[in-house]
């Protein structure tokens, strides 16, 4: 029985395609082989073979971003340093 193949035409961002092609080449794969591997996994897993989620920033990241905004609004409340040595002294002090 002859193997039946079917073409898939997709549009992708050129930069993403070029980067992915380079990575796959380094792995000894071409795009067609990778797409076949990925689709085989979709069938075997009966779904997408990797997690597909909307990234949610962590509480720690949100707090850090809020702190940065506060620092930008009121820079005089925060120390600044003219050189690395002054910063180092401040970081190593017990105050």
pLDDT in tens, 39-70: 999 999 999 999 888 889 999 999 999 999 99
Cα 83 to the chain's mean position, in Å? 33
User: What's the mean per-residue pLDDT of the chain?
Assistant: 93
pLDDT value at 32 more than 70: yes
In the chain, the percentage of residues whose pLDDT exceeds 70 is 97
With b for 16 or more beta-carbon neighbours within 10 A and e for fewer, the 37-64 pattern comes to eeeeeeeeeeeeeeeeeeeeeeeeeeee
Residue matched to tokens 């050189």: 83
User: What pLDDT does 1 receive?
Assistant: 58
User: What pLDDT does 45 receive?
Assistant: 96
In the chain, the percentage of residues whose pLDDT exceeds 90 is 82
Domain ranges within the chain, ordered by starting residue:
14-45, 59-92
User: What pLDDT does 55 receive?
Assistant: 85
Closest CA to 22 of 33, 31, 11, 35: 31
Segment 33-36 long-range contacts (CB within 8 Å, at least 24 positions apart)? 35/8
């Amino acid at each position: 029985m002859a193997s039946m193949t079917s073409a898939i035409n997709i549009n992708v961002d050129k930069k993403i395609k070029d980067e992915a092609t380079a990575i796959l080449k380094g792995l000894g794969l071409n795009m067609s082989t990778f797409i076949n591997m990925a689709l085989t996994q979709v069938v075997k897993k009966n779904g997408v073979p990797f997690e597909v989620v909307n990234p949610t920033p962590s509480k720690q990241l949100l707090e850090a971003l809020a702190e940065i905004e506060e620092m930008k609004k009121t820079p005089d409340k925060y120390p600044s340093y003219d050189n690395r040595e002054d910063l180092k002294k401040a970081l190593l002090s017990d105050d």
